[in-house]
């Protein structure tokens, strides 16, 4: 695609024509007729890019583009909402005469699920168009060549979701079992039309992440006790057409911990932070019989979470000698704060569990281990909760190490 003055674009098309290009791609707003006529429509794509959003009258737009006689019509439109994906899916035709692309991070699903959208092909590259992902990522993380148009679709619903490590893990799991299934992020501003989109995709299951873990609950037919207790759903299983909300975060958190501290009853746990993760892991620890205290920079927030899960409030930072297990449930140590630590010591407890998985190890973990404490990183939790999800959906536990290796590989690829 070349974006420039019309005369310039026509000259490039002439040149492509003279060179015998297999396909020429013509934006709808320039005079395509001579090229279409010269080729009898064959090898011509007529495209419409819409950076404002997916048009409501998509079907009439596609009709107009098809009326040009071009072999392939292409619509690439900026996507932000689940309802935008619905509009594209409703226009899917299996005849290979169109390409439907959602631009932007939210459009990743349309690139991965090209077959389901009836798209003749998809596009990959290093961000040449908004939301485009590299061919390597499409082929390796999403196993693009394995995806058949009738593949079972599992969804990650969240915002942000496009850079999640979950597709790498679940798609590796599907490939290892030889299943005709794919896992794809749907990054959205809202949940409007999610049920309808799930129906159009024949969605087989979903992961739910921030900010929808609570908001998704009204869409469910049942909520499992673990999810009800946490007040948050991170997994949707579909059984006999019923949507069942579950939560594998607590199991995912506890599994690596139990390998180091088999008996949590009576252990003194201090959790740094008072957000969603603090609440979830705090509850999991309480149910294991640990004494839990919440330490947060805002004492009122600490009080709120402590009250909700039957824990105590600890000072920020927690005083010396006050914990056996210290859990970091703040983002301090990741992203823009990656060179910082939420706790400066002393490390006089047994184990530090940092929920952050990137970087690995964090500054907090390094300080803890050099002071003789054991340390667990967030990747182990991320992997364990995903393994449990996969088991809920497929009835099979992934082979040991498969998800951890897939997640680490994807993380290394992101860092390049
Ligand atoms: P959240 O709901 O936004 O809560 C974050 C908490 O950290 C809040 O209490 C916040 O306090 C506090 N905080 C933020 N910046 C701070 C700073 N500079 N200094 C001190 N406290 C600060 O987030 P969340 O969902 O609970 O997640 C927390 C962390 O856990 C994230 O890094 C997330 O990636 C990680 N996590 C990992 C996994 C896993 O599988 N490994 C799962 C869940 C979460 P204020 O309210 O005062 O801002």
- The Cα-based distances of 371 to 99, 216, 348, 358 in angstroms read 57, 43, 8, 21
Closest atom, ligand 1, to C-alpha of 296:
9
Q: Separation of 355 CA from ligand 1 center, angstroms?
A: 9
Determine which helix (DSSP H) or strand (DSSP E) holds 15, and give its type and residue range: helix 6-18
Tens-place pLDDT, residues 87-112: 999 999 999 999 999 999 899 999 99
pTM over 0.75: yes
d(CA 257, CA 20): 63
Question: What is the best residue among 355, 358, 363, 388 to mutate for testing ligand 1's pocket, by most ligand atoms within 8 Å of CB?
Answer: 355
The fraction of the chain above a pLDDT of 70, given in percent, is: 99
Q: Is residue 274 predicted with pLDDT exceeding 60?
A: yes
Tens-place pLDDT, residues 130-147: 788 999 999 999 999 989
Please give the average per-residue pLDDT across 117-124, as a whole number: 95
pLDDT band at 39 (very low <50, low <70, confident <90, very high): confident
Tens-place pLDDT, residues 47-82: 999 999 999 999 999 999 999 999 999 999 999 999
Tens-place pLDDT, residues 321-380: 999 999 999 999 999 999 999 999 999 999 999 999 999 999 999 999 999 999 999 999
Cβ atoms of residues 188 and 162 within 8 Å = no
Burial of 361 (0-12, 13-18, 19+ CB in 10 A): middle
Q: Which of 42, 74, 213, 242 is catalytic?
A: 213
Residue 74 falls in the annotated catalytic set: no
Q: Separation of 332 CA from ligand 1 center, angstroms?
A: 8
Which pLDDT belongs to residue 34?
A: 82
- Is beta strand 205-208 parallel, antiparallel or unpaired with respect to 181-187? unpaired
Peptide bond into 76 cis (omega under 30): no
Cβ atoms of residues 80 and 188 within 8 Å = yes
d(CA 356, CA 376): 10
Token pair recorded at residue 416: 């390049």
pLDDT band at 37 (very low <50, low <70, confident <90, very high): confident
Go through 192-217 and write b for each residue having 16 or more CB atoms within 10 A of its CB, e for each that does not: ebbeebbebbebbbbbbbeebbeebb
The fraction of the chain above a pLDDT of 90, given in percent, is: 82
Q: What is the mean pLDDT of the chain?
A: 93
Place of tokens 């932000």: 80
Instruction: Pick the residue whose CA is nearest to atom 34 on ligand 1.
Output: 356
> 347 CB under 6 A from ligand 1?
no
Closest CA to 111 of 21, 206, 187, 25: 187
Determine which helix (DSSP H) or strand (DSSP E) holds 254, and give its type and residue range: helix 249-260
């Amino acid at each position: 695609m070349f974006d420039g003055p019309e005369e310039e674009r026509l000259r490039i098309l002439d040149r492509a024509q003279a060179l015998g290009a297999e396909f020429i791609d013509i934006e709808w707003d320039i005079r395509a007729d001579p090229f279409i006529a010269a080729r009898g429509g064959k090898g011509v794509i007529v495209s419409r890019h819409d950076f404002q959003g997916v048009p409501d009258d998509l079907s009439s737009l596609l009709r107009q583009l098809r009326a040009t006689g071009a072999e392939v019509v292409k619509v690439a439109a900026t996507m932000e909402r689940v309802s935008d994906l619905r509009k594209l899916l409703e226009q899917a035709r299996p005849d290979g005469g169109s390409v439907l692309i959602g631009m932007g991070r939210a459009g990743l699903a349309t690139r991965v699920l090209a077959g389901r959208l009836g798209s003749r092909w998809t596009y990959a590259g290093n961000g040449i168009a908004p939301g485009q992902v590299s061919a390597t990522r499409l082929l390796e993380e999403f196993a693009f060549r394995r995806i058949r148009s009738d593949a079972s679709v599992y969804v990650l619903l969240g915002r942000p979701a496009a850079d999640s490590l979950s597709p790498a893990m679940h798609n590796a799991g599907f490939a290892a079992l030889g299943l005709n299934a794919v896992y794809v992020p749907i990054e959205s501003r809202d949940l409007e039309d999610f049920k309808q989109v799930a129906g159009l995709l024949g969605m087989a299951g979903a992961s739910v992440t921030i900010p929808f873990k609570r908001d998704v609950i009204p869409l469910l037919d049942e909520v499992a006790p673990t999810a009800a207790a946490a007040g948050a759903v991170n997994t949707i299983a579909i059984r006999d057409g019923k949507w069942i909300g579950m939560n594998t975060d607590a199991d995912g958190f506890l599994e690596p911990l139990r390998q180091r501290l088999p008996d949590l009853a009576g252990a003194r746990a201090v959790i740094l932070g008072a957000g969603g993760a603090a609440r979830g892991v705090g509850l999991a620890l309480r149910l294991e019989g640990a004494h839990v205290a919440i330490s947060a920079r805002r004492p009122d927030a600490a009080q709120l979470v402590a009250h909700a899960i039957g824990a105590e409030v600890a000072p920020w930072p927690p005083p010396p000698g006050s914990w056996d297990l210290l859990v970091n449930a703040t983002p301090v140590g990741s992203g823009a704060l990656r060179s910082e630590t939420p706790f400066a010591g002393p490390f006089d407890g047994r184990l530090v569990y940092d929920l952050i998985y990137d970087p690995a190890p964090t500054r907090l973990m390094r300080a803890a281990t050099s002071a003789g404490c054991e340390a667990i990183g967030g990747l182990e939790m991320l992997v364990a909760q995903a393994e449990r999800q996969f088991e809920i959906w497929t009835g099979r536990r992934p082979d040991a190490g498969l998800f951890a290796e897939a997640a680490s590989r994807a993380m290394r690829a992101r860092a390049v």
